[in-house]
Amino acid sequence: MANLFDLTGKKAIVTGAAQGLSNGMAEGLMEAGAEVTIFDMSPKTEEVAAEFCRKGFKCHGIRVNLSDTAEREAAFQKAVELMGGLNILVNGAGVQRRHKCEEFPMEDWNFVLDVNLTSVFAMCQLAGRHFLANGGGKIVNIASMLSFFGGFTVPAYAASKGGVSQLTKAFANEWACKNITINALAPGYMATDMNTKLLEDEGRNAEISARIPAHRWGLPADMKGPVVFLASPASDYLNGAIIPVDGGYLNR
> What amino acid positions are annotated as catalytic residues?
157
N- to C-terminal Cα distance for the chain? Answer: 33
- Tell me the C-alpha to C-alpha distance, in Å, between residue 142 and each of 74, 89, 99, 107, 202: 23, 11, 23, 23, 27
**Whole-angstrom distance, CA of residue 150 vs CA of residue 138:** 29
- Tell me the C-alpha to C-alpha distance, in Å, between residue 160 and each of 41, 100, 169: 19, 17, 14
> Which H or E run includes 14?
strand 11-15
**Cβ–Cβ < 8 Å for 10, 34:** yes
> Which H or E run includes 206?
helix 202-211
